[in-house]
Amino acid sequence: MVPTTTENGTTTALSGSNTAAIGDVVNYQITFNATNFETNDKLTKAITQYEVEDTPTALDIDASSVDVKVGNTTLETSKYTVNKATDTGKLTITIPWQTDNGDGTYNALYDSPSLVTITYSATVTGEAIDYATNAAKVKYNDEELNGGTTTTETYYFDIVKDNDKDEVLTGAEFKLYDAATGGNEIPVVKISDGVYRVAEATETGVAIEAGKARIQGLDGTKTYYLEETTAPVGYNILTSRVEVAINNNDNPATVENDQDVTKYVSGGVEIVNQRGAELPSTGGIGTTIFYVIGAILVIGAGIVLVTRRRMYHNS
């Protein structure tokens, strides 16, 4: 009996690993071969039920998503029980396998042996700053089979906002997206000064303030995009989003103090701002006023010039 898990259709051993972001839903699958009897030390015992225990950390298992198949038959929910502990979130699935007639004989409910397949889903919670785990075991009679533990990794990167002299700037704000243009904003929440994580579905996102900031709880296979929404005073705002590929690696940044000035050294995602102020985009109120005033001045100059020429000819 080797429990396995699946994510996005790919099956891995329970002792393996995968990656997801906080708020993502991960699909799990446990499979084992079930029989009616077991024999140990020449002693045969009937197996009347199988019990599967799943103990998560930083995962919220959806008990209503549990699905049980014996062979190719999907069982009705009345054929098994599902219990989820309110304090620990541990999931227990009990599958009756045989009925005891009370006279040493049993009525089998299913063919023996049969492959049992259990699927369910869980949401990665905000506690998964580094990883979430899911440990499963199968129990029957006095036996317990440890299926191992699946680890769902999350990753982080650091942002450093600086100028062309590597001096770290303050006052910049960013939002995180899943596309270079358009796409969906990925809300984040602040958990301490300069540290943010991906928000859960019920949480309200905030702006990422940098300086230097860390964003945690990211999917290692994804590419993210940072959009600057506020630039440091006296600096131009970025006109396009900055691409950040995670590639299953954390990306910390190093800064150091140099004569009371914090300077960027290496690593992370360095975002450089240039001094100056951009003109408003064409059609914005600033340029519109500029163009209108300019046109009025030109027309006015033309009127004065024509008037003077007429006065000259009349004289």
Note down pLDDT in tens along the chain; length 315 residues.
334 444 433 333 344 679 999 999 999 999 999 999 998 888 899 999 999 999 999 999 999 999 999 999 999 999 999 999 999 999 999 999 999 999 999 999 999 999 999 999 999 999 999 999 999 999 999 888 877 889 999 999 999 999 999 999 999 999 999 999 999 999 999 999 999 999 999 999 999 999 999 999 999 999 999 999 999 999 999 999 999 999 999 999 999 998 899 999 999 999 999 997 554 433 333 333 333 334 434 444 444 444 444 444 454
* Residue 117 CB contacts under 8 Å (≥ 6 apart), including other chains: 29, 30, 31, 68, 69
Cβ atoms of 291 and 280 within 8 Å: the answer is: no
Domains in the chain, start-ordered, CATH in brackets?
Answer: 16-153 (2.60.40.740), 155-276+291-296 (2.60.40.10)
- Residue 123, Cβ neighbours under 10 Å: how many? 19
